[in-house]
Amino acid sequence: MTLHLAVALDAAGWHPAAWRESSPAVFSAGYWAALVAEAERGLLDFVTIEDALGPQSTLPDGFDDRTDQVRGRFDAVLLAARLAPPTTRIGLVPTATTTHTEPFHVAIGIATLDHVSGGRAGWRAQVSPRAAEARHFGRREFPPVDQILNRPGGVDLSTDPHVRDLFAEAADAVEVARRLWDSWEDDAEIRDVATGRFIDRDKLHYIDFAGRFFSVKGPSITPRPPQGQPVVTALAHARPPYEFAAGGADVVYVTPHSAEQARAIVEEVRGLSGDVKIFADLLVFLGEDAARRKARLDERDGAELVSDAAIFTGTAGELADVLLEWRRAGIQGFRLRPGALPYDLTQIARGLTAELRGRGAFRHAYEAATLRGLLGLPRPVSRYAEVS
């Protein structure tokens, strides 16, 4: 069994000082097209693109005034769409938040990404817990994240009632998207000249969703996407987001820091869902001088890099050892966060994939044309289709 490999793309990489070594044009389409082309040459399953409804910050909530780190990001769904025509096989998984956005718009945006990419779309569904981001919309008041962190037993955001509500809302948003994607049966368009009907209206369905946070009538305006259901993914660190991912996602990214932790997390997630694919996130610096590179960047940033995911420094061979060990703990794939772009991405796409192939653990060619196909997920039938 081969493992699945994705990379998480963001700005100049996951080290906040990474831009100082490559000076990338992070606000040009060409920069991103080169990155995704490299990932596709490495036959990776997919790339994810980070996003948020506010600028980056070193603070838990609100803006810092740092001038030495990358600030600013594209809308990830539109960036993914821009990257679809120049690629042919790699999956494109933008982040879109479920908080503040309209589920109808997000659902048709992801469906459209699936149409323009010929079935390679995914969605990383994410909540926006921050009060600073809520103020960009002015419709809801959120408690500052700092305040939640300071409550007794704080630290784990996901146990907070406010954050629990955000996950409940996210679950509704994913449910709405999935219903909208199913709301046109595959063969709804009939173009029947004899009767003058373009569509068979009996194959279009109102989704009639009514929940705590919003209601959506449907059907979608966008015909069913090529994959039927684009691949839904979510990052999760604790019980409520595990539940959200197990209930709504096809792939969950988890953040173990050891093989033992990986085993425990897999056990917990498997208790919630037998189907969801479990990927582990790792932030990686690769190469003979990986540790030195990271130390140099830490020094430039004035602080040691911190991350929710484990941070790996070492060679591609050493990383392959870790991935295969974690795979034995039940992890099915990895979403690697390159410390610096394009350097660490190149190491992943060339060195690591070669290493894994040498051990019989990675593909030699793309075996499917859709992202679902690459992940071994079947194409689902519309839930509204009559079983004949």
Partner 1 sequence: MTRKQVHLAAHFPGVNNTTVWADPRSGSQIDFASFVDLARTAERGKFDFFFLAEGLRLRELKGRIHDLDVVGRPEALTVLSALAAVTDRLGLAGTVNATFNEPYELARRLSTLDHLSEGRAAWNVVTTSDAFTGENFRRGGFLDRADRYKRAAEFLRLARELWDSWQPDAIAADPETGTFVRPGGIGTVEHSGEHFTVQGRFTLPHSPQGRPVIIQAGDSGEGREFAAAHADVIFTPHGRLEDGQRFYADVKRRLAKYGREPHQLKIMPGVTFALGDTEEEAAENAAHIRRQQVGPLTAIAFLEQVWGRDMSAYDPEGPLPDVEPDLSEGVSQGRVPIKDRAAMAAKWRALAEEKGLTIRELVIEVTGRQTFIGTSEAVARLIDEHVQADAADGFILVPHLTPGGLDEFADRVVPLLQERGVFRADYTGTTLRDHLELA
Q: Identify which range of 16-24, 236-244, 257-265, 360-368 contacts partner 1 by CB under 8 A.
A: 16-24
Written as one letter, the residue type at 174 is: V
105 with 58: CB under 8 angstroms? no
Angle, CA 309 vertex, CA 262 and CA 340 arms, to 5°: 135
Q: Which of 49, 111, 174, 341 binds partner 1 (CB under 8 A)?
A: 111
Q: Which of 118, 154, 287, 330 binds partner 1 (CB under 8 A)?
A: 118
Element (H, E) at 115: helix 103-116
96 with 125: CB under 8 angstroms? yes
Q: Identify which range of 60-68, 317-325, 329-337, 351-359 contacts partner 1 by CB under 8 A.
A: 60-68
Q: Identify which range of 64-72, 263-271, 274-282, 312-320 contacts partner 1 by CB under 8 A.
A: 64-72
58 binding partner 1? (CB under 8 A): no
Q: How many helices (H) and strands (E) does the chain have?
A: 14, 13
Q: Which tokens sit at 190?
A: 């009939």
237 with 158: CB under 8 angstroms? yes
187 with 203: CB under 8 angstroms? yes
Q: Which of 19, 312, 343, 362 binds partner 1 (CB under 8 A)?
A: 19
Nearest-angstrom CA–CA distance, 388 and 369 = 28
256 with 280: CB under 8 angstroms? yes
Element (H, E) at 262: helix 259-270
359 binding partner 1? (CB under 8 A): no
49 binding partner 1? (CB under 8 A): no
Closest separation between CB of residue 85 and partner 1, Å?
A: 4
Per-residue binding string, partner 1, 200-239, x by CB under 8 A, is xx--x--------xxxxxxx-xxx----------------
313 is in an annotated binding site: no
CB 1: neighbour CB atoms within 10 A?
A: 7
DSSP 225: P
Instruction: Give the pairing type, strands 189-192 and 197-199.
Output: antiparallel
Residues from 299 through 338 that contact partner 1 (CB under 8 A) = 300
43 with 363: CB under 8 angstroms? yes
Nearest-angstrom CA–CA distance, 388 and 386 = 6
Residues from 126 through 185 that contact partner 1 (CB under 8 A) = 132-133, 135-139, 184
Q: Identify which range of 72-80, 268-276, 316-324, 349-357 contacts partner 1 by CB under 8 A.
A: 72-80
Residues from 75 through 94 that contact partner 1 (CB under 8 A) = 75, 77-79, 81-86
Closest separation between CB of residue 102 and partner 1, Å?
A: 5
Q: Identify which range of 104-112, 254-262, 278-286, 343-351 contacts partner 1 by CB under 8 A.
A: 104-112
Per-residue binding string, partner 1, 257-296, x by CB under 8 A, is ----------------------------------------
2 binding partner 1? (CB under 8 A): no
384 binding partner 1? (CB under 8 A): no
| Size of residue set near partner 1 by CB under 8 A | 77
Which residues are within 8 A (CB) of 165 and not within 5 positions of it... i.e. 6 or more apart? none
Binding residues: 51, 95, 162
